[in-house]
Structure 1
Amino acid sequence: MPALLAAILSVFILASCDSSGGEVASDKGPQPPNILFVVLDDLGVDQLSAFGYGGLIPSQVPRTPNIDAIAHVGVRFRNAWSMPTCTPSRATFFQGRYPFRTDVKNAIVASDLANSQVSPFEITTPKLLKEKGYVNAVIGKMHLSGSNLNPANNPFGDGVMHELGWDYFEGYLDGGPYPIDKTAGGANHVSGAVYGCGFVPNVNNDPTHGADSGACYKPNGSCTAISTASTATPGLACLEGGGIFDPGQSCRASVPAYLDFNLQNGYYTSELIINQPDGGVEVLPPSDARSRGYRSTLETDRAVAWVKQQKLGQPWMLSVGYSAIHTPLQPPPASLLPGDALKIGAYTCSSDLQEQRQLTNHMLEAMDKEIGRLLVETGIARYAKDGTLDYRPENSNTVVVVMADNGTYGPSVKLPFNLTRAKGFPYQSGVWVPLIVAGPMVKEPGREVPHMVSSVDMYSLFSELAGIDLQKTLPESLQVDAKPVLAYLTEPGRESIRDTNYTETGTNIASSNASAPPPCVIPTSNMCVQVFPQKGICEDQSGTWYGPGGVAGPQGLGSCCAVNDYLVAQGESPVDILPNSQKAIRNDFYKLVRIDRLNCASQQIESADEFYQVDQAAPLPKLDNALSNLLALPNMTPEAQQNYAALQSKLSALLDSRTVCPGDGNLDLMVDDADIENWKHYSTLNGGRSSWYDFNHDGLTNEADRSVIEQNMGKDCRPSS
């Protein structure tokens, strides 16, 4: 075939794909673009060479050729902020409102009431897009609600994503993969070995408890003999294929009783939840073959399958929540890594900082490869002859948006960013995230936008792409913080739309009858937190558990203040305590941080400001490190003083803009008969436990909450125009 004809045909094939990325003619005019939203977990801008970072040692920079390829043909937003933790950011993506308006202030854990989960009364992105004919799906992790870890606080149970507006969901409700199963599925039944990475190493890497051969059982009872003759680490190869490796054993007629397929194991085995378009719910246990395999691969497989099922001419939005690079850090399949990657089977998954950083690189590189496959197998891109990603947005009717939910977790942070001020904090290393947008409407692709953009602005971007005017569509009473983004794509040189950016994290609403989770100390940040309900989750964060059965004894300690008393009594230095509330606001050059923290001696909350000058220079940005606090200097320049006063005023005005309306549960800022009817529904749903009509936050939706409605009946809280 002549080269010119081949080139023409290749472009035609790419541009006329089925419902995936191709442009489809319609009697009703051009189809609105499909939207592929890729959410990266715990991945700050510090990780990516596409933004000029990735570490100061070139040989240790993660290789992300597919993300780089998207950035090369799209727009990189150099100054994008998220919230400091995952759930608040992900909530802002789809409801466009800051956490102080919604009470979704931190990553949801089992003790958090429905009041701090995304409300079914929010006008979420899928609800908006549905009015424009879109079908909407989420694949992977999104963490907008509670889970079966505490069903009492999750009114809709496993069907929650359908209730929030999505037509299809296939993924995980929890905030991250379960802790690594260090029994490797029961493979340690004789030796009692601790397999730190969740699989049996080979003998070279673990002469005492490793194995070079054994039996690999699958959930259906089948078994295959496997050894180093065919794979470097048989235990890992078996796990990658969804099996359990029985070290040094031959296959038996049936699966040995000591092997347990119901154990969840980090990135390789997890309970999977499916919400169907008709509201049907399916829960696949870890023993189901469909729940087993490496998460980044499974998330890609499921996303590709969903896109291929969509009809020609049907616009869609697919949000793919990749679980990587969230803890627990666990080796990915070697097949997903560059050829010169370190031997994966040698990892121990310990708290060693150097190993954690290498492992983070490999998990990111594996995810990057799967992102490339996602684009190719959905018809949005193709592979060139040399294996690189050939992505030409002008040949597709799909807009690709890539953004992370918060900064990198401390141990994995790349220099010069600050690992002690990373995920969980409102400092630059905790909220400065990558944002890349590519699509057929992008003018002058490959450029950077230096202006401030927020995670809440994704709500506006998705609406703009679908042709929705938010000002005309949303009720005037709804307080939305999202700003337009589309103009940055279509108008190179567009002036800044935002004059400030804002981020926050705080304490979610828990039952007034419930105790806070036990304390856990994170060594990398020297910080005590009370957010992890289980010892295993604390340890997956490289933390030291001070709860029951931890370092302080069988009973454990009840608070971070008690931890500091314990440490001082042991002759050790006290640790910092996670603030109750952290907020930050910035303009183009300066940043104000406000910290509210418990004083253990007085048991009072004390507030303190910090003030910094920041920029986005590469490779050495000006960061908000402790020694850079301008308020600690003897004198500030007049310019700094003016900016500090201006940001204080902006922060106060923003926080004061929230309208509180007691008795209003459906967010219309009116208390009326609709609230009584909604209360009736939720007082019987899920046994009348936690809901958005639990106004007194006791974990029950009962007569006490109805009384709040009746006491405020007829109140109209809508701001006067």
Structure 2
Amino acid sequence: MTQRQARPLLSATLAAAALLAACSDSGSGSSAPDGPVASAKPNILFIVLDDLGVDQMTAYGYGGAAPARTPNMTAIARAGVLFRNAWAMPDCTPTRATFFTGRYPSQTNVLNALVATDLANSAPSPYEMTLPKLLKTEGYTSALIGKMHLTGSDLNGAFNLPHGYDSMWKLGWDHFDGFLDGAPYNIDTRAGLATQGADVDSGPYKCGFVPTRRIDAVNGADAGACYFAGGGCTQLAVGGDVVTPGRTCMERGGILDPGQSCQASAPAYIDFEAQNGYYTGRWVKSSANGGGYVVPASDPSSRGYRSILETDRALAWAGQQPADRPWMLTVGYSAIHTPLQVPPVALIAQDTPGRDDNLVCSPLADSERTPGLTQATDLIDGHLITNLMIEAVDRKIGDLLVGLGLARYKDDGTLDYHPERTNTLVVIMGDNGTYVNSVKFTAPGRFDPTRAKASPYQTGVWVPLLVAGPMVASPGREVPHMVGSVDLYRLFAEIAGADADTGIPAGQTLDAQPMLAYLTQADQAGIRSTNFTEMGTNFRAAGSSENESPCVIPAANNVCTTLFPQKGVCLAQGGIWYGDNLSPETSGVPAEGYHNCCQAQAYRAGRNESTTFLPVTTKAVTDGTFKLVRQTRNQCDPAMGTASDPGAYRYSTTGFDIRDELYRIDTAVPSPALDRDGSELTAITAPPLDTATLDPGQQQAYERLKSEMERHDSVADYHWNYDSTNCPGDGNHDGVVDRQDLDNWRELSQLNGAQSSWYDFNHDGRTDATDQMIIQNNMGRTCRGA
């Protein structure tokens, strides 16, 4: 039976479930109230977790020696289906684009996490048939709350943001209330006090609030005046529920003036403009008519812990939706992306280790002040705060379900969730593996922090995927078969009764495979024969490499990258910055800094410090048992060690270093077979691998995987060269250069100062007459698919 043939049966099943939900006990001990008839089509609640891999999840049998408490996600897993073998892309923007386009990064050129210096050509295109547009054909309204990082930001003059604050509306969402930035800003170590310096990194308060004197005898305070952005002040002191006045004030959205009394107005040095990690946000909002605008961090509504605000805003939107129209609500929680910051104590169980202990905020816990204990201190603090943040977001996921009327809390605080009584599909997925310092490397699991987020290895791409809803047969089970983040596009289309291939131009194909049958049939066999993941390098304007700056991240095997456009972003990732505005640890580096990783490598080699390069492209394909990894890295010119001045080195223009690696993997509990360094089945070499030492079964698996990898390479090459060679002038990628392209160019050339757009064919950062000429010169051209 085809998926299209199965839709009428599914629709009938969901309609019956909706009727049952409207007429049965709501799960709270009272009948459902009278009101509009619920939509027969199911609502969809899609929750995306940031940088949270399976290594953190006790529901998967892992979590390390000291796991985070996740009772609500465990309850959801037990009420639905746990997908044991789900892959994402190695980092966030590429994965999130797969959710909403159904295509791998190499088809869309959304290849890496978007930063302000990337061209719009590497952002999801408004000309795509995105998921919210597709669901709209079936009567759905859609909202996106929180973090999704599908566009650039307005840093550096909105270089890569043609539609400005209406960008998410242009991608199809009826309502957006969230962040264009990819992560919370750095923690304000001044705790909002300009007296501590002009830079948020210049203060002594590493947790973003003023600790008590017991924690910091020099800079701490046991009392003070707590000022609020909207006006008003509250006097706070240690006692009763107030354990740390500075933390209590921050959790309430305020800034503590330590040791002072409230004045009629806040002193000038109280800085509400600066962001402070998870306790502020620069929210962007748009509605069904566009009209996007910014709510700055200084606005009272933008201050408070992100997991709380993200949940509250989601509930506020859902509460306004008519009962007779289906909706899809996507909630992108910011947690647990860096910077790691302690959450409000109200979200943490009283007996959770570290709940009230602010020792992580002590100057003695600062690695720069404890020589010899750098890694141990950072690791202990990182794991403790990560656990607290995961418990906090798990609590808010429970609050979200309860607030939506999908569940209730029992008297003992546990979640009472019966999806069969609802008309809502609930999907929870991570966007990539855990980031280095948060990875659980102890048993059970023993994941690999040196091969974490931003790598194609298991720790970097193996993520939780939990699904619950009225259509799930035999809930409480696991699905062992391979699925990918890209498959959610087709799942959501199937649930809505939409044809997932609608609006896909001829010559293009969806990478998404069907997965609804895994929900409705407990004995469904595997659908995918392979799974795939990839990450690359986004388009940047010609010559921009001269302004790039290296960042070396010690905890990630000393990997060097030029992805981060600012020093603060590098430092927030635990990195060492080699650009301008240098630190004492980079003494001897020129004042203007370095501009490529070859220069940083040469400098570090002179200090006997190792360096690896983040790959230009990284890909992996698996058949579920064997896994082929292919990584492409820059080479240096001249050869390393042949020049005396580190500044003399450049990336080679004659080629790249390409390496293949073959592993055996599984998803066993409690100790999965991971693709660790040294576990490769044969020597790591340029493709093809020497398979002489492999047995016949391994050789056959390698040949199949190599063929699949080469197919993906061909697709990537076609789309990378689409604007320049394969279809210049076709900015909307519909396979033909026509009058619509001229109209689109004309619109975009008048927006955003005619900077970067999807019609910047020569990738110079301008949408100008040169690009118009490319369209005119190719008018009428049709282009084959990849």
TM-score range, shorter chain: over 0.9
1:365 aligns with 2:372: no
Mapped contact 1:187–1:245 kept (Cα < 8 A)? no
Q: 3-state DSSP class of the match of 2:127?
A: coil
**What does 1:297-696 align with in structure 2 at a 5 Å threshold?**
297-341=308-352, 342=354, 343-348=356-361, 350=366, 352-415=378-441, 416-471=446-501, 474-515=504-545, 517-525=548-556, 526-550=558-582, 551-552=586-587, 553=589, 554-570=591-607, 572-601=608-637, 603=652, 604-632=655-683, 635-657=693-715, 658=718, 660=722, 661-696=727-762
Q: Aligned partners of 1:496, 1:507: CA distance in 2, in Å?
A: 32
Mapped contact 1:14–1:380 kept (Cα < 8 A)? no
1:167 aligns with 2:174: yes
Give aligned pairs, total. Answer: 703
1:16 aligns with 2:32: yes
Of 523-532 and 173-182, more deviation after overlay is shown by: 523-532
1:80 aligns with 2:86: yes
- Quick one: which of 19, 25, 29 aligns to 2:37? 25
Where has structure 1 moved over 3 Å in runs of 4 or more? 7-19, 187-193, 471-478, 657-660
Cα pair distance change 1:190/1:423, threshold 3 Å: closer
Q: For residue 647 of structure 2, what is the aligned residue in structure 1?
A: none
Q: Aligned partners of 2:357, 2:191: CA distance in 1, in Å?
A: 16
Q: Aligned partners of 1:583, 1:681: CA distance in 2, in Å?
A: 36
Question: How far off is 1:363 after superposition?
Answer: 0.3
Q: 3-state DSSP class of the match of 1:363?
A: helix
Q: For residue 225 of structure 2, what is the aligned residue in structure 1?
A: 215
Q: Aligned partners of 1:566, 1:31: CA distance in 2, in Å?
A: 64
Cα pair distance change 1:706/1:249, threshold 3 Å: same
Cα pair distance change 1:596/1:283, threshold 3 Å: same
**Which deviations, in whole Å up to 9, do the C-alpha atoms of 1:34-91 show, x marking residues without a partner?**
0000000000111101011111x2xx11110000000001101111000001000000
Question: How far off is 1:479 after superposition?
Answer: 2.1
Mapped contact 2:24–2:421 kept (Cα < 8 A)? no
Question: How far off is 1:193 after superposition?
Answer: 4.6
Mapped contact 1:332–1:344 kept (Cα < 8 A)? no
Q: Aligned partners of 2:305, 2:498: CA distance in 1, in Å?
A: 37
1:43 aligns with 2:52: yes
**Which deviations, in whole Å up to 9, do the C-alpha atoms of 1:126-180 show, x marking residues without a partner?**
0011111111000000000011113022101111111110000101110000011
Gaps of 5+ in 2: 1-22, 368-377, 640-651, 685-691
**Which deviations, in whole Å up to 9, do the C-alpha atoms of 1:495-526 show, x marking residues without a partner?**
11110111101100011132353111111122
Q: For residue 151 of structure 2, what is the aligned residue in structure 1?
A: 145
Q: Aligned partners of 1:641, 1:635: CA distance in 2, in Å?
A: 9
Cα pair distance change 1:105/1:350, threshold 3 Å: farther
Question: How far off is 1:651 after superposition?
Answer: 1.5
Mapped contact 2:742–2:772 kept (Cα < 8 A)? yes
Q: Aligned partners of 1:120, 1:675: CA distance in 2, in Å?
A: 13
Q: Aligned partners of 1:132, 1:271: CA distance in 2, in Å?
A: 33
- Quick one: which of 143, 154, 164 aligns to 2:161? 154
Of 555-564 and 171-180, more deviation after overlay is shown by: 555-564
Cα pair distance change 1:74/1:702, threshold 3 Å: same
Question: How far off is 1:13 after superposition?
Answer: 6.5
The residue type equivalent to 2:668 in the other structure is A
Q: Aligned partners of 2:564, 2:40: CA distance in 1, in Å?
A: 46
Question: How far off is 1:650 after superposition?
Answer: 1.2
Q: Aligned partners of 1:492, 1:15: CA distance in 2, in Å?
A: 31
Q: Aligned partners of 2:449, 2:306: CA distance in 1, in Å?
A: 26
The residue type equivalent to 1:484 in the other structure is P
Q: Aligned partners of 2:504, 2:265: CA distance in 1, in Å?
A: 59
Q: For residue 3 of structure 1, what is the aligned residue in structure 2?
A: none
Cα pair distance change 1:91/1:454, threshold 3 Å: same
Question: How far off is 1:385 after superposition?
Answer: 1.8
Question: How far off is 1:188 after superposition?
Answer: 4.6
Question: How far off is 1:189 after superposition?
Answer: 4.0
Q: For residue 8 of structure 2, what is the aligned residue in structure 1?
A: none
Q: 3-state DSSP class of the match of 1:470?
A: coil
Aligned-residue CA RMSD in angstroms? Answer: 2.0
Q: Aligned partners of 2:175, 2:31: CA distance in 1, in Å?
A: 26
TM-score by length of 1: 0.95
Question: How far off is 1:686 after superposition?
Answer: 1.3
- Quick one: which of 242, 250, 261 aligns to 1:250? 261
Of 710-719 and 264-273, more deviation after overlay is shown by: 710-719
**Which deviations, in whole Å up to 9, do the C-alpha atoms of 1:335-354 show, x marking residues without a partner?**
10111121243322846111
TM-score by length of 2: 0.87
Q: Aligned partners of 1:72, 1:370: CA distance in 2, in Å?
A: 18
Q: Aligned partners of 2:281, 2:506: CA distance in 1, in Å?
A: 42
Q: For residue 7 of structure 2, what is the aligned residue in structure 1?
A: none
Mapped contact 1:14–1:379 kept (Cα < 8 A)? no
Q: 3-state DSSP class of the match of 2:173?
A: coil
Mapped contact 2:730–2:736 kept (Cα < 8 A)? yes
1:232 aligns with 2:243: yes
The residue type equivalent to 1:595 in the other structure is Q
Of 65-74 and 267-276, more deviation after overlay is shown by: 267-276
Question: How far off is 1:12 after superposition?
Answer: 7.9
Mapped contact 1:584–1:592 kept (Cα < 8 A)? yes
Q: Aligned partners of 1:17, 1:656: CA distance in 2, in Å?
A: 57
Question: How far off is 1:245 after superposition?
Answer: 0.3
Q: 3-state DSSP class of the match of 1:170?
A: strand
Q: 3-state DSSP class of the match of 1:656?
A: helix
Q: Aligned partners of 1:671, 1:8: CA distance in 2, in Å?
A: 56
Gaps of 5+ in 1: 1-6
Mapped contact 2:45–2:328 kept (Cα < 8 A)? yes
Q: Aligned partners of 1:599, 1:304: CA distance in 2, in Å?
A: 50
Of 426-435 and 649-658, more deviation after overlay is shown by: 649-658
